[in-house]
Structure 1
Amino acid sequence: MKIRDEIPGDEATIHELTKIAFAAVEMSDGSEPRIVDGLRKNGDLTLSLVALSDDQIVGHIAFSPVEISEASGQWYGLGPVSVHPEHQRAGIGRQLIATGLERLRSLNAAGCVLLGDPGYYSRFGFLSPGDLTFGEVPTEYVQALAFGPEPARGEVRYTSAFGG
């Protein structure tokens, strides 16, 4: 498996992969492909990494800037992350996340936030501090990983591609 940056010409494949990957996800409203397309269109796709197996894109992860009302420094949001259903549970998502987080650190990011399953994302060091919020989402699903000493606190605001 190889992980590389998205390159021109990958857009349609990433869109379709994201659509397929989220089709059976109960909590999905089907907006994930539109979100990735919107991030790209608006110039908010800070990192867009793909996982290749036999030269085919089988995974994708997006990172974009976020604002946090009581945090300083540049924070980023993780997601969406997509793995083709035929390749899930093979460590592709884990590798995409780990690579993306390392790349964010190299950009001197303050940290990363996400909305997701605490049981899964805690293995990467994400925590639900309880004082980090996103609308009506229960705080245990609003998670952060600080790369420095200052934690994330306050309300998270994603870019307009997320519909906010």
Structure 2
Amino acid sequence: MAVPAFRIRPEEANDPPAIDAVLRGAFPSQWEARLVESLRANNELSVSLVAFCRDHLTGHIAFSPLTLDGEPTSGVGLAPLAVQPSWQGRGIGAALITVGLEACLEQGFDFAIVLGEPGYYRRFGFEPATRWGLDSVYQAGDAFMAKSLRPGGLEGLGGLVRYASAFESL
């Protein structure tokens, strides 16, 4: 079966209802949809991209600011990533991650953090964050991962990473 062409672009003003529908369809709970609403309301979406296939919004990825030991940092947290179930397995999620990480680098971010499936995220260069002395409140072990977006982007760090305030307010 041929994979339909899709395009990725930054979130636009009229996209939130369709993004909400993708998030609610891709996850068993409403938490991720409420999270993105809260990130948007708090102006904490550093990068928000959508994927379209046949003029239908099929995927979304969000990156938000991080703190390190309570201080602002040059890193972003990747969460959530969602693709409508009927469109999964066609490379849309992988493309959103790749384009999203490039957009974060272009905006001057030095590193990205994700809490996700190690086998999947290693494909994009993520490694266990403990390698750089980074920890999270989630006690996630190797699922808490980091990726340098530029040479040396993770060097000299270490400490407790926290996601944007929207993550804690839900």
TM-score, structure 1 length as denominator?
A: 0.90
Q: Which residue in the other structure is 1:8 paired with? A: 13
1:64 and 1:96 map into 2 onto residues whose CA distance is 15
Q: Which residue in the other structure is 1:36 paired with? A: 36
Greater than 3 Å deviation, 4+ residue runs: 70-73
Q: 1:150 deviation in Å? A: 4.2
One-letter amino acid of the counterpart of residue 12, structure 2: I
2:24 and 2:34 map into 1 onto residues whose CA distance is 9
Q: Which residue in the other structure is 1:140 paired with? A: 142
Q: Which residue in the other structure is 1:26 paired with? A: none
Q: 1:73 deviation in Å? A: 4.7
One-letter amino acid of the counterpart of residue 167, structure 2: F
State the Cα deviation string for residues 81-132 of structure 1 (Å, max 9, x = none): 0000000011000000000000111112111001011110001000004232
Q: Which residue in the other structure is 1:18 paired with? A: 23
**1:81 match: secondary structure:** strand
The answer on whether the counterparts of 2:67 and 2:73 sit within 8 Å (CA) in structure 1 is no
Give the paired residue count: 159
1:49 and 1:87 map into 2 onto residues whose CA distance is 16
The answer on whether the counterparts of 2:66 and 2:162 sit within 8 Å (CA) in structure 1 is yes
The answer on whether the counterparts of 2:137 and 2:162 sit within 8 Å (CA) in structure 1 is no
Gaps of 5+ in 2: 1-5
Gaps of 5+ in 1: 24-28
Q: 1:80 deviation in Å? A: 0.2
2:25 and 2:75 map into 1 onto residues whose CA distance is 29
1:45 and 1:136 map into 2 onto residues whose CA distance is 21
Identity percentage over the alignment?
A: 37
The answer on whether the counterparts of 1:70 and 1:154 sit within 8 Å (CA) in structure 2 is no
RMSD: 1.8
- Residue 110 of structure 2 corresponds to residue 110 of structure 1: yes
Residues 100 and 132 of structure 1: is their aligned pair in 2 closer, same or farther, counting only changes over 3 Å? same
TM-score, structure 2 length as denominator?
A: 0.87
Of residues 78-87 and 66-75 in structure 1, the stretch that sits farther from structure 2 once superposed is 66-75
- Residue 127 of structure 2 corresponds to residue 149 of structure 1: no
1:70 and 1:141 map into 2 onto residues whose CA distance is 22
